C-alpha cells in the first residue's frame, strides 16, 4: 500500500464571509490517503470529504452539496507521514483558489544536506 497526496476542490457552495464583502464560493482540501491505487485514493478522499462536509459544515443542509473536482494527486515519498488534518482552505474567487492550489501542488523542498550533496558532487 502506498500513500497518495490528493488535492480536491469543492465548488457550488455559498455562505457569507463575515470578514469581507465577497461570499465564499468553494474550498480546497488536501488529504493523505493510504491506498492500493491512485484511483482508489481519489475515490476515498472524495468520500471522506463529503462525509466530513455533511457531518460538520452542512448538518442543517443549508450550504449545499459541493461539486468535487480533482486538482492534484501524487505519491507521497516522505520518511515521516504528517499528522492528518481535516482543514479546508476557503476561496471567494478563482485567483484566491489558485493561490491555495500553488501551495499544495509545488514539489517538496530539498533538505539542506541534499542540496549541499548535489552541489558538492559536481
Domain count for the chain? 1
Select from 27, 17, 14 the least CA-distant residue to 68. Answer: 27
pLDDT average per 10 residues of sequence, the chain (122 residues): 92 76 87 94 95 84 87 83 73 89 75 53 48
Range of the domain at 60: 2-120
Instruction: Report the phi/psi class of residue 116: left, alpha or beta, with left for phi > 0 and alpha for psi in -120 to 50.
Output: alpha
Distances (CA, A) of 66 to 78, 91, 109: 31, 13, 32
Q: Give the count of beta carbons closer than 10 Å to the beta carbon of residue 54.
A: 13
pTM for the full model? Answer: 0.78
Amino acid at each position: 500500500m502506498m500513500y497518495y497526496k490528493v488535492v480536491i476542490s469543492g465548488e457550488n457552495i455559498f455562505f457569507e464571509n463575515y470578514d469581507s464583502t465577497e461570499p465564499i464560493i468553494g474550498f480546497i482540501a488536501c488529504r493523505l490517503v493510504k491506498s492500493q491505487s491512485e484511483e482508489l485514493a481519489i475515490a476515498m478522499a472524495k468520500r471522506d470529504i463529503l462525509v466530513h462536509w455533511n457531518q460538520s459544515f452542512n448538518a442543517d443542509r443549508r450550504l449545499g452539496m459541493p461539486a468535487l473536482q480533482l486538482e492534484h494527486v501524487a505519491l507521497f515519498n516522505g520518511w515521516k507521514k504528517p499528522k492528518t488534518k481535516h482543514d479546508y482552505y476557503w476561496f471567494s474567487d478563482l485567483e484566491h483558489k489558485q493561490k491555495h492550489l500553488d501551495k499544495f501542488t509545488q514539489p517538496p523542498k530539498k533538505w539542506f544536506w541534499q542540496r549541499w550533496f548535489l552541489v558538492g558532487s559536481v
